[in-house]
Structure 1
Amino acid sequence: MISDSDLIALVRAYNPKTNEALLRDAYAYGAQMHEGQTRHSGEPYFTHPVEVAALLTEQHLDDATLVTALLHDTIEDTGSTFAEVERRFGSEIAELVNGVTKLTNLELSSTETKQAENFRKLFMAMSKDLRVILVKLADRLHNMRTIKHMRPEKQVQKSRETMDIYAPLAGRMGMHWMREELEDLAFRVLNPEARASIIRRFITLQKETGNVVPKITEDIRTELANADIVGEVYGRAKKPFSIWRKMEEKKQSFSKLSDIYGFRIITNSEDDCYRALGVMHRRWSAVPGRFKDYISQPKTNGYRSIHATVSGRDGKRVEIQIRTRQMHDVAEAGVAAHWAYRDGERVENPFAVDPATWISTMTERFEQAEDHDDFLEHVKLEMYSDQVFCFTPKGDVIKLPRGATPLDYAYSIHTRIGHSCVGAKVDGLRVPLWTRLRNGQSVEIITAEGQKPQPTWIDIAVTGRAKSAIRKSLREEHRDRYIKLGRELTRVAFEHIGKKSSDKALETAAKELSLTDASQLLEYVGSTELSAREVVMALYPELAENSGMETVDAKRPVVGLPEGVQVKRAACCQAVPGERIVGIKYKGQGVFVHAIACDALVEFEEQPDRWLDIHWHAGRHAASNTVTLALTIVNSFGVLGRICTLIGEQNANISDMHFIDRKPDYFQLLVDVDVRDAEHLHGVMTAMEADSDVAALERHMDLNRKP
């Protein structure tokens, strides 16, 4: 593990004025809080925060960010609190640590609808201080580098989450080196056969042709020297995942894929960038359609560079990136360049984008989305896409994602223009609406009164804005028909499982699926954007087949207990598997499990020796975790019996029942229900809430019930 002195030496290399006392204090505090904790590899847990901090020193980040890295797991995984971190290290660092904790608690690899909501939370957390996502990205990179020590199913989950969210986010922030490494580490887990195949073909290619990278690098250096251009030249073979993605996109085999090598020229000035481009094009043939000038048209994250593909030595295609040193610093650090230090002073890089401006451009276009699917589509397009710049007939520039069509162009100007679009001209020639636009083209939209969006436009449009506007128009036009059809489809689906498709059930299902109301739910079902089975499953998840997970030993439901120590669930908060927990030692009684948010934990804040870092065993737990539910139901014949049957249908057991109040029109009671985990409990409560005779339902917490 890197010592505090070694870490400080890394910081002093770029910031001699660093606050060494602050870094040493944070290092010592983090080591103390994580004492006794280990990683899956068996190493002391504190090695992880230290490595995360070391990763951030490579980006020359400020002291506050580095201290946050050292402490980023303390509030979440130790007995430390926000108040204590704030007292010792100040409000700025406490807020940063708390922000990273909130990001960690987001379940970003869940269902699409929930993922969209989590993306909203992600951007809200980022908007307060972008440094929290820099720490989180470094945290994810180190976890991916050591992922082999996790369980196989956890490796797949984390790798998918990395590929879908964190890698493109790193790329969108301009940190392309991190995006490439994250993608390749996830690729190693998700498709090891494909990755191994590409590496084997690389080895075979090098045996046949030799290592061409140093040869081409020397060719480029020679040409620059002949033209009196001072510059650094670097070359490399592209990452296995990058090559595999090109093979998938172009539907080509490895043998036919030519541009698998990348080279970078770092010059002293912008003028030299264009001079170097001219030298490259004079020496080698340019590949048509493979040129992008991000110096004259920078990306929104501040990225500037010239990209050109040429037919190099022996006809091999190579991609060349040309930029200045300052442009290169931003290309390496992305948005993080705003906080970069050099010689103890914050670097004023003219190309570094202001984080506040960047995050506002990221979020403002998402505010128009009317539902979660539209929002998620906006986010993914914004993060994944390269941009295409087209011109209006008046010469204004319109930015669109790669692959955009004239239809996307029309909607980007105005929704009214998009709705009335009947055709388009590109560079003066009439083209179909499904034509893919390219950089530098001039686009003119032809409109006609009375034109309305067509259902086929959904497949033509690429941008979330266009798709959202088209869907909205189509839904409004056919809304009544969709609702009527949706009502019939849900009625049949509910009857199939012996349930009634009541208004209360539909409203509850709409809430579960994050829709506005039952009418929107029926509209989505009728328009096939949502299946009737998904509605049923939102209310009655126990109807799904069991996943075949390993059964957990009921006597040892948690991980992290000392050998031979008994464990019990605290009666005050009744934590269940799936919820974040902490263990509290009671003399002579063993360890009691509390939910991490349990108010009863306040009395133990000054007794850190009694806290244990524990978590639930992964797998299928027995339905033996009792949870008390506070229930208000209509006092009518058969209602209580029906509620009890409903709980039984969810494979849950009623272990006790206590009436609090009996009135002529309603009953208030406490029901003890035995469940497996948080998901099982959620399913039970959702099924109960869907019943029209249930007036109120909540989980009952009683701090007076001692462990």
Structure 2
Amino acid sequence: MPPIDDAAVPDYVREMEQAASYLTAPQLAMVRRAWTIGAAAHAGQTRKSGEPYITHPVAVAGVLAEQKLDAETLVAAILHDTIEDTPLTRACIAAEFGDTVADLVDGVTKLDKLHFRDRQEAAAESFRKMLLAMSRDLRVILIKLADRLHNMRTLGAKNPESRARIARETLEIYAPIAQRLGMNLIKAELQDLGFRALYPWRHTVLEKRIRTQPVVRREALVQIEANLAQRLAKEKLPHRLISRVKSPWSIYTKMRAEHKSFAQVMDVFGFRIVLRTVADCYHALGVVHATYKPLDARFRDFIAIPKANGYQSLHTVLFGPYGSPVEVQLRTEEMDLIAERGIAAHWSYKDGSEGPNSAQSRAHNWISGLVETQHATGSSLEFLENVKVDLFPDEVYLFSPKGDILSLPRNATALDFAYAVHTDVGNQAVAARVDGKLVPLRTRLANGQRVEIITARSSMPKPQWLEFVVSGKARTSIRQQLKHIEHEDAVQLGHRMLDRALEALDTSLERVPAERVEAYLQEHRYPRLEALLADIALGNRMPSQVALQLSREAGARGGQRRAEPVPLSKDRILITGAERGVITFANCCLPVPGDEIMGYHTAGKGLVVHRMDCPNVADYRKSPERWVAIGWDRKVSGDFSAALRIEVDNRPGALASVAAAIAEAESNIDRVEYLERDTHIAVLRFSIEVGDRRHLANVIRKVRRLGVVMGVQRI
């Protein structure tokens, strides 16, 4: 391609090339070539503002050039919309600039919205694809963040509805991702632009209040700056002292989270002290604390324990003159670069900073965890929700028994910690030791605690766990394991039900020819036998009908003769009570182990278990084909719901006496409600948990002995 006359190069390209002046001449020529190809591909396309479309990708490359990204990233940024919006193909880009650039462009490209039900699902799936591309090359997210930043800078051309939607998405997803990757400069601008677009009036008011702070406060700031600079100079500590003002968004979120007015948010101002070495940082901290008293419990050492995104600094809050708290951050030059640019700083260094604490390696670890999570989630929307949970900026830092540091979202529990260690540890967790003290899995953890997880091979995840875990990995792992357990239970129960139905026809599943089973599965579109068995257990197929079709003569085809009714098997299916995924216990009679029971096959619910003396059983006799003969296995597990109607003398302390007697009988109380009440007698319903009929009888016996109780009966 012939060189382009410099006079023909527009100003917006010159500005981008000026920002990229750190590149070599051949690299700059490659970036210029990318512009000519991109401009030709986007020819005739314009943005909402009326400008040529190519101005947008070039501006995105300019944002990345300010972060000193490599030439390949800048080329990919200029071409990032070509595959989606122009005839230019991935193959063409690969032929011209290599596979790496083509992969970067492909990773940023959104998916076609026509494949999805709505815009929300399209955005979620596009986000999932982008994260997978990030796992191969982190520069994908850098291009995407720069793309979003330029879109936010030029948001004025959009209609109000689009502005609000894009701003909300930016604040919920893209700004937290920038923070998670340590890119504070981009994060701060995304938050400010998002806040301004979503709440323009609130942004204006806060910006004005920050600008017009009382003169006293500003004088105090100048005085503090002078004092700190003087003390640091006396200690011969070379430093850069930068005063900083909190952004409208950070003040707004603090006001909202802590329910404070603007006047109550005191630490609006702060200082950053940048020093040469880590030793200088700790030395300077002593100087700062000797100059002004620190506020108790507000000191944080992120140098010894870096944040999950690689951020390192010492944070302290000083009690300044006029009673105003002042935040001070101390860090080295390298830490300052990583705090400002995060993973983008990696490309500024020739050595790449690949240590275990580098922003680069931490980002890779985080994204690897996300990729592992996305394989387990059922839908893109669920995956996106889990990622949002993991993007909360507030974290707690915890120690394993070996001294390893793990970071978890705010309000994380011992169970979240277990899943952070390993999925198998989480699945088999039964309790935890926090700082040597035994605690339940739902215990919330605080910074600096030492956590040890106690496991048991027989332990399995419970649905209640989903109520208190907060990390995306824990939530996804629990859901996946519960689905797996339910599926296994359904397959086993379906196998037993089909076997009983075949036994009634003097055959069994083993004796049915394999080709006949395969033909049945193909005819009814089941990928394998397990899927059919699970469907039987869930009540979507009647075992008697399946048995008839499988047992008839090989030459007979469906519909050629009328199916005879299948005699019910006299052998009962024994249940343990652990098959909670496919067996439910009827609320009308609340059966417990030891009761005579029957099963009713219900579509979608599987087996619903009733007591034989349940009043509703008479109605079920009208559909004998749905009856399933069941009984209790010798080994039953878990707690079972039961209900008692208790009449008591209506006097103070009666309810407490009954509750104490139930607890003494080692039964849990789920719920208590008054059925009737007058001046003398109260009738209460106690919903309790028992192990079996004998346990229930023991509870009733203990309650009957109470002087305040006039009558007890099982409901």
TM-score (norm: length of structure 2): 0.60
Quote how far apart the aligned CAs of 1:122 are: 1.8
Deviation at 1:371, TM superposition (A): 3.2
Contact 1:337–1:349 under 8 Å retained in 2? no
**1:15 maps onto 2:20 in alignment:** no
Q: How is 1:230-309 mapped onto 2 (pairs within 5 angstroms)?
A: 230-309=238-317
- Say if 2:371 is the partner of 1:363: no
Aligned twin of 1:137: 145
CA 1:412–1:97 in structure 2 vs 1: closer, same or farther (change >3 Å)?
Answer: closer
Query: What is residue 669 of structure 1 aligned with on the other side?
Result: none
**Structure 1 residues 496-538: Cα deviation after superposition (integer angstroms, max 9, x where no partner):** xxxxxxxxxxx9xxxxxxxx999999999999xxxxxxxxxxx
Give the secondary-structure state (helix, strand or coil) at the position aligned to 1:439.
coil
Question: Which residue identity is paired with 2:336?
Answer: H
Cα deviation, residue 263, structure 1: 2.3
Q: Judging changes above 3 Å, is the alpha-carbon distance between structure 1 residues 424 and 6 closer, same or farther for their aligned structure 2 residues?
A: closer
In the other structure, the counterpart of 1:174 is: 182
Contact 1:51 1:142 (8 Å CA) reproduced: yes
Structure-1 residue corresponding to 2:325: 317
8 Å Cα contact 2:428-2:457 kept in structure 1: yes
For 2:480 and 2:371, the matched residues in 1 are separated by: 16
- Kindly indicate whether residue 59 of structure 2 is the aligned counterpart of residue 44 of structure 1: no
User: Is the contact made by 1:103 and 1:125 (CA closer than 8 Å) also made in structure 2?
Assistant: no
CA distance in 2, matches of 1:111, 1:202: 38
In the alignment, the residues of structure 1 paired with residue 365 and residue 209 of structure 2 have an alpha-carbon distance, to the nearest angstrom, of: 44
Deviation sequence 1:466-504 (CA, Å, 0-9, x none): 43455567778999999xxxxxxxxxxxxxxxxxxxxxx
Evaluate the alpha carbon distance shift between residue 420 and residue 227 of structure 1 in structure 2; reply closer, same or farther with a 3 A threshold.
same
Structure 1, gaps ≥5 residues long: 483-506, 508-515, 528-707
Q: CA deviation at 1:458?
A: 3.5
Which secondary structure does the structure 2 equivalent of 1:228 belong to?
coil
User: Which letter maps to 2:364?
Assistant: I
Aligned match of 2:675:
none
The residue type paired with residue 161 of structure 1 is: E
How far apart are 1:440 and its partner, in Å? Answer: 1.4
| RMSD (Å), alpha carbons | 4.3
* Greater mean alpha carbon deviation, residues 119-128 or residues 89-98: 89-98
Corresponding residue SS for 1:285:
coil
* TM superposition shift of 1:133: 1.9
AA partner of residue 205 (structure 2): S
How far residue 357 of structure 1 moved from its aligned partner, in angstroms, is: 6.9
1:26 — aligned with what? 34
Q: Give the Å deviation of 1:144.
A: 0.3
> CA, structure 1 residues 311+456, in 2 after alignment: closer, same or farther (shift >3 Å)?
farther
* 8 Å Cα contact 2:69-2:347 kept in structure 1: yes
Partner of 1:56 in structure 2? 64
Q: CA deviation at 1:195?
A: 1.8
The structure with the largest alpha-carbon Rg is 2
Equivalence for 1:147: 155
Question: In the alignment, what sits opposite 1:81?
Answer: 89
Q: Aligned runs of 1:666-677 on 2, under 5 Å? A: none
- Report if aligned partners of 2:132, 2:371 keep a CA contact under 8 Å in 1: no
Report deviation, 1:59. Answer: 0.7
443, 464, 468: which is aligned to 1:460? 468
For the 8 Å contact 1:2–1:51, the answer to whether it is kept is no
Q: Indicate conservation of the 8 Å contact 1:214/1:235, yes or no.
A: no
Equivalent pair of 1:298/1:304 in contact (CA under 8 Å): yes
Query: What is the deviation of 1:322?
Result: 1.7
Deviations 1:353-399 (Å, cap 9, x if unpaired)? Answer: 48577335422355254434664344223333443222345544343
In 2, Cα distance between the equivalents of 1:359 and 1:463? 18
The answer (yes or no) to whether the contact 1:107–1:118 under 8 Å persists in 2 is no
1:2 aligns with 2:47: no
Which whole-Å CA distance do the structure 1 matches of 2:535 and 2:322 have between them? 64
Alpha carbons 1:340, 1:347 under 8 Å: kept:
no
> What's the CA shift string for 1:519-564, capped at 9, x where partnerless?
999999999xxxxxxxxxxxxxxxxxxxxxxxxxxxxxxxxxxxxx
1:165 and 2:170 correspond: no
**Kept in 2: contact 1:156–1:189 (CA 8 A):** yes
1:26 touches 1:70 (CA, 8 Å); kept in 2? yes
Query: CA 1:398–1:142 in structure 2 vs 1: closer, same or farther (change >3 Å)?
Result: closer
- Shift of residue 420, structure 1, vs aligned partner: 7.6
Cα 1:118–1:299 change in 2 (3 A) is same
Percent identity reads: 43
In the superposition, relative to structure 1, how do residues 109 and 211 fare at CA in structure 2: closer, same or farther (>3 Å)?
farther
Which amino acid counterpart does residue 371 of structure 1 have in structure 2? G
Given that 1:127 and 1:356 are in contact with CA atoms closer than 8 Å, whether structure 2 keeps it comes out as no
Alignment of 1:218 with 2:223, yes or no, is no
Equivalent position amino acid for 1:186 in 2:
G
Cα distance in 1 for residues equivalent to 2:221 and 2:112 = 40
**Residues 108, 118 of structure 1: 8 Å contact kept:** no
Q: Does the CA-based 8 Å contact 2:107-2:130 persist in structure 1?
A: no
What residue number does 2:203 align with? Answer: 195
Change (3 A) 1:88 1:421: closer
The answer to whether the 8 Å contact 2:537/2:582 transfers is: no
Give the match's secondary structure for 1:37: coil
Cα pair 1:106 1:118 within 8 Å, conserved:
no
Deviation digits for residues 200-252 of structure 1 (CA, Å, limit 9, x no counterpart): 33244345633655444333322321222111111221111111111122222
Distance 1:59 1:171, change over 3 A: same
User: Aligned to 1:137, what secondary structure does the other structure show?
Assistant: helix
CA distance in 2, matches of 1:126, 1:332: 20
Deviation at 1:54, TM superposition (A): 1.5
The equivalent residue for 2:100 is 92
Q: 3-state DSSP class of the match of 1:290? A: coil
Query: For residues 419 and 53 of structure 1, do their structure 2 counterparts lie closer, same or farther at Cα, with a shift above 3 Å needed?
Result: closer
Going from structure 1 to structure 2, the CA distance change for 1:452 and 1:56 (only over 3 Å counts) comes to: closer
> Does the aligned pair in 1 maintain the 2:399–2:448 contact within 8 Å?
yes
Q: Which residue of 2 is the match for residue 598 of structure 1?
A: none
Q: Secondary structure at the match of 1:399?
A: strand
Q: Pick closer, same or farther for the CA change 1:436–1:240 going to 2, 3 Å.
A: farther
Checking the alignment, whether the CA contact within 8 Å between 2:111 and 2:122 is kept in structure 1 is: no
For 1:10, give the aligned amino acid.
A
Change (3 A) 1:61 1:260: same
Q: How does 1:643-662 map to 2 (within 5 A)?
A: none
Equivalent residue of 2:88, what SS? coil
- Structure 2 residue aligned with 1:156: 164
Structure 2, unaligned stretches of length 5 or more?
Answer: 1-9, 491-524, 526-533, 541-579, 585-715
Matching residue of 2:657: none
Distance 2:406 2:309 in 1: 17
User: Which deviates more, 516-525 or 229-238?
Assistant: 516-525
For residues 472 and 77 of structure 1, what CA distance do their matches in structure 2 show? 38
Alpha-carbon distance in structure 1 between the residues aligned to 2:344 and 2:172:
21
Contact kept, 8 Å, 1:213 with 1:236, in 2: the verdict is: no
Report the CA distance shift for 1:202/1:100 in structure 2 as closer, same or farther (over 3 A): same
For residues 356 and 316 of structure 1, do their structure 2 counterparts lie closer, same or farther at Cα, with a shift above 3 Å needed? closer
CA 364–349 in structure 1, closer or farther in 2 if over 3 Å, else same: closer
TM-score by length of 1: 0.60
Change (3 A) 1:419 1:59: closer
